[in-house]
Amino acid sequence: MQTAEQFAENILSDVELQPGGLMLDLDGYQLAIRSNSTALINRLSGYFRHVLSVQEPDAKTSTDEVICVEAPVYDAGVEFTDWEREPGKTGRKDAYHNLADARLVLKVRTGMLFLQHESHRLVIGPCNEYDNQVINFINAQYMNWLQQHGALICHASALVLNKRCMAIAGFSGGGKSTLMLHMLEDDVVKYLTNDRLFLSHSSDGIMATGIPKLPRVNPGTIINIERLKPMLDQQRIEELQAMPKEALWHLEEKYDVDVTSVYGDEKILTHTLIDTLLILNWSFASEETCRIEPVNIRERTELLVAVMKSPGPFYQFADHSFYQDDMQQNPQDYLEYLNGIRVLEATGKVDFDRAIHYCHEYLSDDKN
């Protein structure tokens, strides 16, 4: 059976990497990025500019490397197995093939191929066309490192106001990214993360760490936030405004919100102590008034589904073994972390104005 080193050597033997590259500085984890494509390096440099390192790698700090090979779709000549998706998700997305000491992951819809190994991390395929998948793979390395050091992965966005961090989780299409972006319209609100949040223990409490991934939102969010409207042309805005609200909300069309360009260079935080978790258990179909109330999560464990998240096919444990798609996250792990965090639940109809007002009032009042 082929090893990671053999696979990497076969791929890279005819590849001329561009000089230089990028170095990301991620709170104790350094990640170098190299490619044969200058265009890709320039794109990634802009995307990750708030975590770019201006120094050479520190020998005392963990440094890994991702090599991105711009190429046509590559046929690895092996048989792939579909990765079982989480409940509620449909369609083929990822497939995998385990080498002797590594894992190949294939993005079924694009043909992008990834090699995951503790010493060899490769991306092969039309990287410039599918740069969002390259970005996700880069972030997967940081997420691996965080989890290998004891952090718990959560499906949540997070923001900070009045030095207090609120995570926002929700069921599929619940609006956690939209609510967070509405909150960011206030200059004093800081951005921590979107969609992936990591919790860890510290001497001062529960630490929340974000990853350098920009909010990826649908057009329904963009046309309802004035500062984001320039992301679309006027004709597209008018087309979207004519659509029924529910159809607009579930439109499969995503855009990256460049937080520093839209909101300013000082808008992003990388980690902070967490104060509160808000779970959006509301619905567009409800006619009930939106209510936001504290809940005892140990008595409402069904809400944990909104927070729990599979590490996915790229995840390697500290012993270098791989996460399997039939493994389950342990609810007790989440209850342990949430034991020291206030948990709120939003029910009734979707009402962003109500939620924005409540979050501002709640986080601004130190008595809460």
For tokens 């800081």, name the residue: 190
SS3 309: coil
Is there a contact between 296 and 279 (Cβ–Cβ < 8 Å)?
Answer: no
Whole-angstrom distance, CA of residue 235 vs CA of residue 251: 17
Q: Which amino acid is at 166?
A: M
Q: Is the dihedral of CA 324, 90, 195, 254 positive or negative?
A: positive
Q: For the segment 333-358, what is each residue's pLDDT rounded down to a tens digit?
A: 999 999 989 999 999 999 999 999 99
Q: What is the pLDDT of residue 88?
A: 66
Q: What is the pLDDT of residue 161?
A: 96
Q: What is the pLDDT of residue 347?
A: 96
Residues 6+ apart with CB under 8 A from 32: 21, 22, 23, 24, 57, 63, 64, 65, 66
Whole-angstrom distance, CA of residue 252 vs CA of residue 283: 19
Whole-angstrom distance, CA of residue 350 vs CA of residue 284: 5
Is there a contact between 304 and 194 (Cβ–Cβ < 8 Å)?
Answer: no
Q: Which residues pair with 115 in a beta bridge?
A: 104, 122
Whole-angstrom distance, CA of residue 64 vs CA of residue 23: 10
Longest dimension (CA), the chain: 63
CB burial class (10 A; 0-12, 13-18, 19+) of residue 329?
A: middle
Q: What is the pLDDT of residue 58?
A: 56
> Which tokens go with 72?
């046509």
Backbone angles phi, psi at 252, to 5 degrees: -85, 80
Q: What is the pLDDT of residue 126?
A: 98
Q: What is the pLDDT of residue 294?
A: 97
Q: How many residues does the chain have?
A: 368
Task: Residue 329: name the closest of 319, 339, 337, 341 by CA.
Answer: 337
Is there a contact between 223 and 237 (Cβ–Cβ < 8 Å)?
Answer: yes
Q: Where are the alpha helices (DSSP H) in the chain?
A: 4-12, 38-47, 131-148, 176-184, 219-222, 234-241, 245-249, 259-263, 331-338, 352-364
Task: Residue 198: name the closest of 368, 344, 29, 365 by CA.
Answer: 29
Whole-angstrom distance, CA of residue 196 vs CA of residue 212: 10
Task: Residue 152: name the closest of 341, 343, 342, 331 by CA.
Answer: 331
Q: What is the pLDDT of residue 244?
A: 86
Domains of the chain, earliest start first? 4-148 (no CATH), 152-215+257-364 (3.40.50)
Q: For the segment 40-63, what is each residue's pLDDT rounded down to a tens digit?
A: 999 999 999 999 997 655 555 658
Residue-by-residue pLDDT tens, the chain, 368 positions: 899 999 999 999 999 999 889 999 998 899 999 999 999 999 999 999 999 997 655 555 658 999 999 999 999 999 999 999 877 666 788 999 999 999 999 999 999 999 999 999 999 999 999 999 999 999 999 999 999 999 999 999 999 999 999 999 998 778 898 999 999 999 999 999 999 999 999 999 999 999 999 998 888 889 989 899 999 999 999 999 999 877 887 787 889 999 999 998 899 999 999 999 999 999 988 999 999 999 999 999 999 999 999 999 999 999 999 999 999 999 999 999 999 899 999 999 999 999 999 999 999 988 77
DSSP 213: -
Number of Cβ atoms within 10 Å of the Cβ of 41: 19
